[in-house]
């Protein structure tokens, strides 16, 4: 990576930005940590930007020196998204963390990219409004937009593609542009908002987001329900969705994942495949939803479905769900937990998850299955000893089979984590010649290939 232009860029950044720029190795490595078996590939320096003009200046400097730029939110992405395989400068946006406007009357909020989902909800807590998209990590909204993130509420409220109204972006040329107005609907030209959503930092740097926010439901109720098998649980999900119950969360955790959560979060759930379910609405509506769900669950041999609208009890439940990744990690200390992600049409969910379960069992790996199953989206968490090459190889083969199985069922190799470095070959298998169109767009907007090179495609 010793590249004279990059070295000159580093010198120019030091000169220009002083203390806000660092070449400290530990910091650089932290900014390129990866949740996979992909190697850590640190950038050559990290710039902590504090406003959009600094982003413009940094991009222009990088363009001048042909130096790659790796945007960074909170670094919780799962496919090597923030690695710097070609060197370059990491642009850390976490200090651009201002909530600029809450337009309660329009149900919109305007935020800087470093605001986290929890910080936004904290700011909204007295307004009767909330922001629903909730990846397991407390990610930044700029990072979430860039990976097209979703989470447990997506089955009811959609993903980042549905809640971003408009973005302000610094292009690869260092221009500051706005993708759309703040109107709820638009037919004004190409949908650049949704082109940048999910572009993984490869087309520009998001410096501001206008987001939809939602009225907090009158009543929130929910509970857990244990099933005799993963198959039965998935069939309950399919029936729930097909019955049109407007469930706001419906999450699967397999028996091992429940065991992990019990240990990690000190709970006493029955250690069987389980659905975590939540309903939003009026008192009458949540009762109706819960009753129809209970009937479906009973039909599929589930234990009794106990639900409540006690907010503390529910909060404990969802905290355990959000900690599932760390709980799984603790099942096998010394290993790395790697989460893979697939999504299929809901009619294929049971078949796909069951085949995955059998595959994992046959492989003998320590692995849990969980996911946002209401959208046909599920994950496995593999606990891999990175010092054991045979195990890594076996894990890679499992991920390949999951991706290919989902694709074969008219689904996708990633419902929400994105492509990054890790899933490029599956993207190719899934979309073939379509990937060339993506490349042409990349080439048109970033002809020097400065913005997060080596991600989505190489």
Ligand X SMILES: Cc1cc2nc3c(=O)[nH]c(=O)nc-3n(C[C@H](O)[C@H](O)[C@H](O)COP(=O)(O)OP(=O)(O)OC[C@H]3O[C@@H](n4cnc5c(N)ncnc54)[C@H](O)[C@@H]3O)c2cc1C
Here's the x/- map for its own copies, 33-72, by CB under 8 A: it reads as ----------------------------------------
179 part of the interface to its own copies, by CB under 8 A: yes
For residues 246 and 374, what is the distance between their CA atoms, to the nearest angstrom? 10
Return residues touching ligand X (CB under 6 A): 35, 70-78, 81-82, 93, 113, 135-137, 139-140, 142-144, 146-147, 149-151, 200-201, 205-206, 325, 416-417, 452, 455
Looking up tokens 């490595």, which residue turns up?
29
Q: H or E element: which one contains 100?
A: strand 99-103
Is the torsion defined by CA of 220, 77, 424, 454 positive or negative?
positive
- By beta-carbon proximity to its own copies, the closer residue of 165 and 258 is 165
For residue 94, the surrounding DSSP H or E stretch is none
Smallest distance from ligand X to CB 146, Å: 3
Closer residue to ligand X in complex, CB, 75/223: 75
Candidates 198, 142, 139; CA nearest to 169 is 142
State the DSSP string of 247-284.
Answer: -SEEEEE-HHHHHHHHHHHT----SS-EEEEEEEE-HH
User: How far is Cα 295 from Cα 302, in angstroms, rounded to an integer?
Assistant: 10
Q: Under rule CB under 8 A, which residues in 323-362 are in contact with its own copies?
A: 341, 343-347
CB of 172 to ligand X, least distance (A): 11
Query: Of these partners, ligand X, its own copies, none, which one is at the site of residue 136 (CB under 5 to 8 Å by kind)?
Result: ligand X
The residue (of 333 and 432) whose beta carbon lies closer to its own copies is: 432
Residue number with CB closer to ligand X (83 or 302) = 83
**Calpha distance 299→282 (Å, rounded):** 26
Burial class (CB in 10 A: 0-12, 13-18, 19+), 162: middle
- Per partner kind, with CB cut-offs from 5 to 8 A, the member of ligand X, its own copies, none near residue 28 is none
**Burial class of residue 267, CB neighbours in 10 A (0-12, 13-18, 19+):** middle
Which C-beta is closer to ligand X: that of 305 or that of 426?
426
Token code pair at residue 418: 């994105």
In whole angstroms, how close is the CB of 16 to ligand X at the nearest point?
Answer: 20
Contacted by 171, from ligand X, its own copies, none: CB < 5 to 8 Å by type: its own copies
Shortest distance in whole angstroms from residue 390 CB to its own copies: 29
Choice between 89 and 241, CB closer to its own copies: 241
Whole-number Å distance between alpha carbons of 3 and 62: 13
Which residue among 19, 364, 432, 458 contacts its own copies (CB under 8 A)?
Answer: 432
- Shortest distance in whole angstroms from residue 455 CB to ligand X: 6
User: Would you count residue 412 as binding its own copies (CB under 8 A)?
Assistant: yes
Identify residues 271-330 at the interface with its own copies (CB under 8 A). 282, 284-285, 288
CA distance 166 to 183: 9
Near its own copies in 103-132, by CB under 8 A = 103, 105-108
Task: Find which of ligand X, its own copies, none residue 34 binds, CB within 5 to 8 Å per kind.
Answer: none
**Binding to its own copies (CB under 8 A): which residues in 378-407?**
406-407
Q: Does 440 bind its own copies (CB under 8 A)?
A: yes
Q: Which is nearer to ligand X, 146 or 248 (CB)?
A: 146
Residue (17 or 325) nearer to its own copies, CB: 325
In the complex, the smallest distance separating the C-beta of residue 215 from its own copies, rounded to whole angstroms, is: 4
Q: How far is the CB of 236 from ligand X (least distance, A)?
A: 21
The secondary structure element, H or E, covering residue 424 is helix 424-431
Return the one option of its own copies, ligand X, none that residue 406 interacts with (CB less than 5 to 8 A, by type).
Answer: its own copies
Instruction: Identify whether the C-beta of residue 47 lies closer than 8 Å to the C-beta of residue 20.
Output: yes
H/E stretch holding 99 reads strand 99-103
| Binding partner at 33 among ligand X, its own copies, none, C-beta below 5 to 8 Å by kind | none
Nearest C-alpha neighbor of 87 from the set 53, 126, 46, 54: 46
First to last CA, the chain: 17
CB of 320 to its own copies, least distance (A): 23
288 makes contact, choosing from its own copies, ligand X, none, with CB < 5 to 8 Å by partner type, with its own copies
Binding positions for its own copies, 214-233, rule CB under 8 A: 215
Contact flag: residue 177 with its own copies (CB under 8 A): yes
Q: What is the helix, strand, coil percentage profile of the chain, to 5?
A: 40, 20, 40
Give the dihedral sign, CA 33/388/366/267. Answer: negative
- Is residue 276 within 8 Å of residue 250, measured between CB atoms? yes
Closest alpha carbon to 321 in 366, 358, 372, 285 = 372
Choose between 29 and 299: whose C-beta lies nearer to ligand X: 29
Closer to ligand X by Cβ: residue 164 or 302 = 164
What is d(CA 218, CA 208) in angstroms, rounded to the nearest whole number? 31
């Amino acid at each position: 990576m010793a590249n004279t232009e990059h070295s000159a860029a580093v010198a120019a950044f030091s000169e220009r930005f002083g203390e806000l720029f660092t070449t400290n190795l530990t910091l650089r490595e932290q900014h390129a940590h990866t949740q996979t078996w992909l190697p850590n590939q640190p950038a050559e320096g990290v710039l902590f930007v504090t406003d959009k003009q600094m982003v413009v200046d940094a991009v222009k400097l990088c363009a001048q020196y042909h130096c790659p730029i790796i945007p960074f939110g909170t670094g919780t992405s799962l496919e090597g998204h923030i690695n710097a395989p070609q060197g370059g400068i990491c642009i850390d946006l976490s200090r651009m963390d201002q909530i600029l406007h809450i337009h309660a009357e329009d149900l919109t909020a305007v935020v800087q990219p470093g605001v986290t989902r929890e910080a936004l909800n904290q700011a909204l807590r007295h307004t009767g409004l909330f922001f629903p998209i909730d990846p397991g990590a407390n990610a930044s909204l700029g990072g979430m937009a860039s990976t097209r993130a979703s989470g447990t509420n997506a089955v009811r409220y959609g993903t980042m593609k549905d809640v971003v109204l408009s973005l302000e972006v610094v292009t690869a040329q260092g221009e500051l542009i706005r993708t759309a107005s703040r109107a709820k609907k638009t037919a004004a030209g190409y949908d650049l908002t949704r082109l940048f959503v999910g572009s993984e930092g490869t087309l520009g740097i998001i410096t501001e987001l206008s987001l939809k926010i939602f009225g907090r439901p009158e009543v929130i109720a929910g509970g857990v329900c244990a099933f005799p098998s993963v198959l039965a649980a998935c069939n309950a999900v399919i029936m729930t969705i097909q019955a049109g119950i407007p469930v706001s969360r419906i999450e699967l955790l397999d028996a091992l994942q429940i065991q992990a959560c019990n240990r990690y979060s000190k709970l006493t759930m029955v250690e069987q495949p389980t659905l975590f379910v939540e309903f939003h609405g009026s008192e009458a509506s949540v009762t109706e939803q819960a009753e129809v769900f209970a009937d479906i669950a009973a039909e599929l041999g589930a234990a009794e479905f106990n639900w409540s609208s006690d907010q503390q009890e529910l909060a404990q439940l969802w905290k355990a769900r959000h900690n599932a990744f760390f709980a799984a990690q603790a099942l096998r200390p010394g290993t790395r937990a790697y989460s893979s992600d697939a999504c299929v049409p809901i009619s294929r969910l049971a078949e796909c998850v069951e085949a995955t379960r059998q595959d994992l069992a046959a492989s003998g790996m320590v692995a849990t299955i969980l996911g946002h199953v209401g959208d046909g989206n599920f994950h496995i968490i593999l606990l891999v000893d990175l010092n054991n090459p045979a195990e890594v190889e076996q894990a890679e083969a499992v991920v390949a089979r999951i991706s290919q199985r989902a694709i074969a069922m008219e689904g996708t190799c990633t419902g929400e984590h994105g492509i990054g470095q890790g899933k490029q070959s599956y993207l190719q298998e899934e979309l073939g010649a379509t990937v060339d169109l993506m490349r042409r767009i990349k080439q048109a907007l970033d002809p020097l290939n400065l913005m997060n090179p080596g991600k989505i495609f190489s």
